[in-house]
């Protein structure tokens, strides 16, 4: 069966997309118009699976559905700009999110479930971010500026197929998994939820 490029991600509300598109516009004088991520493609990746045989889609859905279902919905907020690569020639410009603890619990559960299917486990701690630019030219930005504190509800995870096109990737939702847990997340062994203000 043909392979499919797959990833699991949290979708963004319109308010967050609009805020990030406004940030993009401010970066155009630095990086130019090429390399901007389209509004409909903005998302928070939880687990990138890579090129996967199409026959594994049902197994992936079955593996992640219950762990995700048991997690209580929570909120994230946009925080600040981050870059990956050289400071004066970044490969990626992204918006970081807070708080990190709750989304790490979700990402770790998804990673563990996918690992049981043979996918490679992540070696680094999960760092939540939304890619907004893949610059095609050099440029340096001030990353200390904070972003609008727009809220992002985390109440579902979507399994996406990514199809690479000449003008950028096109994403197609294959399945959706709700967060519906009732109990507070266990952070550092304590049954407490972290507040957004405390993480900032």
CATH number at residue 141: 3.90.1140.10
Q: Which two tokens stand for residue 80?
A: 């600040």
CB atoms within 10 A of CB 101: 15
Cα dihedral sign, 164-127-182-49? positive
Tell me, yes or no, whether 191 lies in a domain: no
Query: Mean pLDDT throughout 147-168?
Result: 90
| Percent share of the chain, pLDDT over 70 | 89
Q: Provide the b/e sequence for 7-37 (b: ≥16 CB within 10 Å).
A: bbbbbbeeebbebbeebbeebeeebeeebbb
What pLDDT is recorded for position 1? Answer: 56
Q: What is the mean pLDDT of residues 144-173?
A: 88
Over residues 153-175, the mean pLDDT reads 90
* pTM for the model: 0.87
Asked if residue 58 is part of any domain, the answer here is yes
pLDDT of the residue at 132: 95
Span 75-105, pLDDT tens digits: 999 999 999 999 889 999 999 999 999 999 9
Q: Is residue 197 part of a domain?
A: no
In a domain, 192, yes or no: no
Percentage with pLDDT > 90 across the chain: 77
CA 143/CA 101 separation, integer angstroms? 22
Full domain range(s) for residue 104: 3-180
Q: For residue 186, tell me if it sits in a domain.
A: no
Phi and psi angles of residue 104, each rounded to the nearest 5 degrees, phi first: -70, -35
């Amino acid at each position: 069966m043909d392979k499919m490029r797959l990833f699991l991600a949290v979708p963004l509300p319109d308010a967050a997309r609009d805020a990030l598109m406004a940030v993009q516009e401010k970066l155009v004088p630095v990086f130019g118009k090429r390399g901007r991520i389209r509004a409909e493609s903005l998302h928070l990746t939880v687990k990138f699976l890579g090129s996967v045989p199409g026959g594994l889609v049902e197994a992936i859905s079955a593996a992640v559905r219950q762990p995700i279902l048991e997690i209580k919905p929570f909120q994230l907020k946009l925080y600040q700009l981050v870059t990956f690569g050289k400071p004066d020639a970044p490969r990626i410009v992204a918006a970081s999110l807070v708080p990190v603890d709750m989304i790490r619990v979700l990402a770790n559960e998804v990673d563990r479930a996918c690992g049981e299917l043979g996918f490679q486990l992540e070696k680094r701690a999960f760092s939540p971010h939304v890619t907004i630019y893949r610059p095609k030219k050099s440029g340096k930005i001030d990353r200390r500026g904070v972003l609008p504190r727009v809220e992002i509800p985390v109440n579902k995870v979507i399994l996406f197929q990514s199809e690479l096109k000449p003008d950028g990737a096109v994403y197609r939702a294959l399945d959706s998994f709700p967060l519906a847990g009732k109990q507070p997340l266990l952070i550092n062994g304590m049954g407490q939820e972290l507040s957004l203000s405390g993480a900032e």
